[in-house]
Amino acid sequence: MTPTPAHDDLARVSGSAGPEEIAAAIAVLRAGGVVAFPTETVYGLGADALDAAAVRRVFELKGRPPTNPLIVHVSGEAMARRVAAHWPPEASRLAQAFWPGPLTLVLPKAAHVPPEVTAGGPTVALRCPDHRVTLALLDAFAHPLVGPSANPSGGVSPTTAEHVREAFEASRVYVLEGGPCRGGIESTVLDLTSSPPCILRPGPISAAQIAAVLGGPVAEHPLPGDVPASGAVARSPGLHPVHYAPRARAVLFERQHLADMLARTHRAVVITHSGLTVSPPHQIIRMPASAPGYAARLYAALREADALRPDLIAIERPPADDPLWRAILDRLTRATGGL
């Protein structure tokens, strides 16, 4: 595990929140308020996970259905053990291998965790985020923090503090600055209460990486296009087929269909990772060709596309030949309406 930095170090990260901002954030949290915090994946909307009224405020702000449980952020394994009713050896091995980092573990919840956090369910999702500002916050606050992505429910996740400020009034959410998120897509969610363990949401940590640490099989939840409308989807309510969606109509396309599609569209914004070109009035947003680069840019690109107010956001279908590309494709499939 990365040691939590001393507060002095924080001041040296240019532009990022320092000790004064962290102290202010703690005062907000102690009063039952809401603080947006940076992580290596996306920004989270934080509140004291042990304060039911504060947790309800997060649901209200996001417009999130109370049936969709929240991830609880912890400073490390010691805090996680206080939130889970049972901490199996597999959880220890995974935490040692991947925390702080983008792996969320679903375990039986401890009795003192308010039912609001888990949508009344018997399990709780736990993760230790890899960002020095938020590790310092968790360390100093010494309580776990709920942290859904800091966007109105169903919308595009925020990867900068500015995205959060655009969505929420400053009087209702105190935003801790932490720079642009390095990873760009949300953590892998792994259910450790099923056998074999099952990935409920694909993300930066792959099934193969998890299986290598556990020394056993890991089940993978199918991508949205692969599943029937009912069934296992309800295991992770956040896996609704429409999610991460921009306001404009968005579609995925194969490059050979680009010309036809543009001929039928008044003004499209085309998001390409392979160097496609378009003529005005259509516009282009160029993405990195590597999966890590693409993931880090994805949500900012969807926001930029939306801001251009096109008739259509047309996203070139990325490859699905590597786990991170598959996680990206999962988000794009949901951003484009599910199928």
Measured distance CA(308)–CA(313) in Å, rounded:
10
Q: Is residue 124 a contact point for ligand TXA (CB under 6 A)?
A: yes
From its phi and psi, is residue 231 left (phi > 0), alpha (psi between -120 and 50) or beta?
left
Amino acid, res. 100: P
Which H helix or E strand runs over 117? Answer: none
Distance of CA 318 to the CA centre of its chain: 20
Binding mask 142-181 for ligand TXA (x = CB under 6 A): -----xxx--------------------------------
Nearest approach, Cβ of residue 104 and ligand TXA (Å): 5
Q: Which is nearer to ligand TXA, 187 or 336 (CB)?
A: 187
Measured distance CA(38)–CA(193) in Å, rounded:
28
Name the residue with the smallest CB distance to ligand TXA.
238
- Binders of Mg ion among residues 133 to 162 (CB under 5 A) are 149
Which of 21, 48, 130, 186 is in the footprint of ligand TXA by CB under 6 A? 186
Q: Are the beta carbons of 27 and 117 closer than 8 angstroms?
A: no
Q: Is residue 106 a contact point for ligand TXA (CB under 6 A)?
A: yes
Q: How many CB atoms lie within 10 A of CB 10?
A: 21
Nearest approach, Cβ of residue 256 and Mg ion (Å): 33
Measured distance CA(328)–CA(289) in Å, rounded:
13
Nearest approach, Cβ of residue 321 and ligand TXA (Å): 23
Where along the sequence are the contacts to ligand TXA (CB under 6 A)?
39, 41-42, 44, 68-71, 102, 104, 106, 118, 121, 123-125, 127, 129, 147-149, 186-187, 189, 200-201, 236-239
Where along the sequence are the contacts to Mg ion (CB under 5 A)?
149
